[in-house]
Structure 1
Amino acid sequence: MKYWRYLILLILIILLGGCQVDNEEQSKKPLEMSQDELPDVKAFEDEFTRGFLQSTEETRPGYYPFLSGTGKYEMDFPAGGVVGDRGYSKEDERFESFIIGVDNSLIESSIDMKYMPDKQGYENVVLDMLSTSMDKDLEFEKAQLADRELYFAPFKLENGDFGYAAFIQNTVDIGGIHIFYLSGCTAEEEKCSEVMEEEDSTIMNWLKTIEFINESE
């Protein structure tokens, strides 16, 4: 009987040890992993960008979990995206500004993001400011999401590039995110109409993944 008890105990120790190793591997952040442990995509090749990514598990096909340097919001981050370290700016938890460059096979995009301590009730002021920045009379639509409001307006440039100006207001706490998402087609001209139509849907779906992290949570 003692032999079987020792054998069962030994098996349990091995199993528990294996589970502990698995848990440690799963809890490692991408910045702590070696290059051969990471997905073979541009977002993980750039060390600065990797510091914002929270896992190597996709949130949905082609996207990974991103946490703002302020800790105030999270979102899906495109596999082909890179956060520019030279233009990155942050002031404690109050302000953060950076640009994401996204390079896909048929589309090149630039996403200008700013987190600000915006308060509810000043949405029209922010939207006017976004319009002024574009030097365009933008017509914003509003989408009510959980714990936030999304304002978005399409625009098109003379060279054919297009995108969205957007503002996301936290409806639970202080905080707003100002976004300019600009895309250009790099495919053959006859394909660009279809490519840009798909990109329009891509941008809107991505905007809805941006969620605030409130202290009450």
Structure 2
Amino acid sequence: MKRILQFYILILLAVTGGCGMSKEKDNGKANQEPMPETEAFQDEFTREFMKSAEEIEEGYYTFESKTKGYTMLFPENGKISKGDYEQVDTDYEALSFAEKIDQENVTYFVTINFEESPHAKNTSLYTKQLSIATGYSGEYTPYKLEDKTIYYGEYTDHDSGLYFYNAYIFSNESDKGIRFVFSGRCIDEPKSCEPSPSVIKDRIKRVTESITFK
């Protein structure tokens, strides 16, 4: 468990440490429009996933998967890791992104695995994979929306200050599903403060509930 926590802390420090530094050439879907001065658009690789430069909700734009399998809200200063990205045709996509929110004293890291599979509704299979990946030993709570169902589990590691939110989201109408892992902590020393799970959870749900399978 300790190794898993150390891994997530190192990832958070490495990825969010570079946020706000990218100023590459114009490229991507949103290039035809005036570009917002945010990390999501200033980073060349992240910009490839932005469907348009129109702000859908305050601080959020529309992300479109390169598989064309789903869209979701994406934070304005999120940055997708090019090195972690993987795609297999239209059936599978793995990516990670991070964001540093100075005004909330929070930095976080998200991993997303999209898959189209006949086993997509096998929730025990995919929640078990999530638990193994993060060291989570708790239960998952399901709730059903009109177009998708979400199974989630959450916990806070008080020693490291990390807050984890695992979710498996699958379409009610197709064989598509997403494994979603959020890990966040305070920007200050982990033991000096803790991000409020309720505030962070609202931010997470805004993204997970915005997922639209195509």
TM range (shorter): 0.7 to 0.9
- Say which structure is richer in helix: 1
Distance 1:43 1:87 in 2: 16
Distance 2:190 2:80 in 1: 29
Show structure 2 runs of 5+ residues with no match.
Answer: 1-27
Deviation at 1:199, TM superposition (A): 1.4
Question: Identity, % of aligned pairs?
Answer: 25
Structure with higher Rg: it is 1
- 2:124 aligns to what? 124
- 1:144 aligns to what? 144
- 2:57 aligns to what? 60
| Closer/same/farther in 2, CA of residues 197 and 30 from structure 1, 3 Å limit | same
Deviation at 1:163, TM superposition (A): 2.1
Higher RCO (CA < 8 A, seq sep 6+): 2
Q: Does 1:70 align with 2:75?
A: no
| Closer/same/farther in 2, CA of residues 109 and 40 from structure 1, 3 Å limit | same
- 2:108 aligns to what? 109
Contact 1:31 1:47 in 2 (8 A): no
Deviation at 1:29, TM superposition (A): 3.7
- 1:199 aligns to what? 200
Contact 1:100 1:112 in 2 (8 A): yes
Contact 1:163 1:200 in 2 (8 A): no
Distance 1:192 1:84 in 2: 27
**In the alignment, residue 182 of structure 1 is paired with which amino acid?**
S
| Closer/same/farther in 2, CA of residues 194 and 167 from structure 1, 3 Å limit | closer
- Map of 1:1-217 to 2, 5 A cutoff? 29-33=29-33, 37-105=34-102, 106-118=105-117, 119-157=119-157, 158-187=159-188, 192-193=193-194, 195-213=196-214
Query: Cα deviation per residue 1:43-73 (whole Å; 9 max; x = unaligned)?
Result: 1100111011011111110000110110000
| Closer/same/farther in 2, CA of residues 116 and 136 from structure 1, 3 Å limit | same
Query: Cα deviation per residue 1:154-195 (whole Å; 9 max; x = unaligned)?
Result: 022330110201100111111110011111111588994564
Contact 2:71 2:212 in 1 (8 A): yes
Secondary structure at 1:70's aligned position in 2? coil
**In the alignment, residue 199 of structure 1 is paired with which amino acid?**
I
Distance 1:57 1:138 in 2: 39
The TM-score with structure 1 as length reference comes to 0.77
| Closer/same/farther in 2, CA of residues 137 and 63 from structure 1, 3 Å limit | same
Contact 1:155 1:163 in 2 (8 A): yes
Show structure 1 runs of 5+ residues with no match.
Answer: 1-27
Number of aligned residue pairs: 183
Secondary structure at 2:90's aligned position in 1? coil
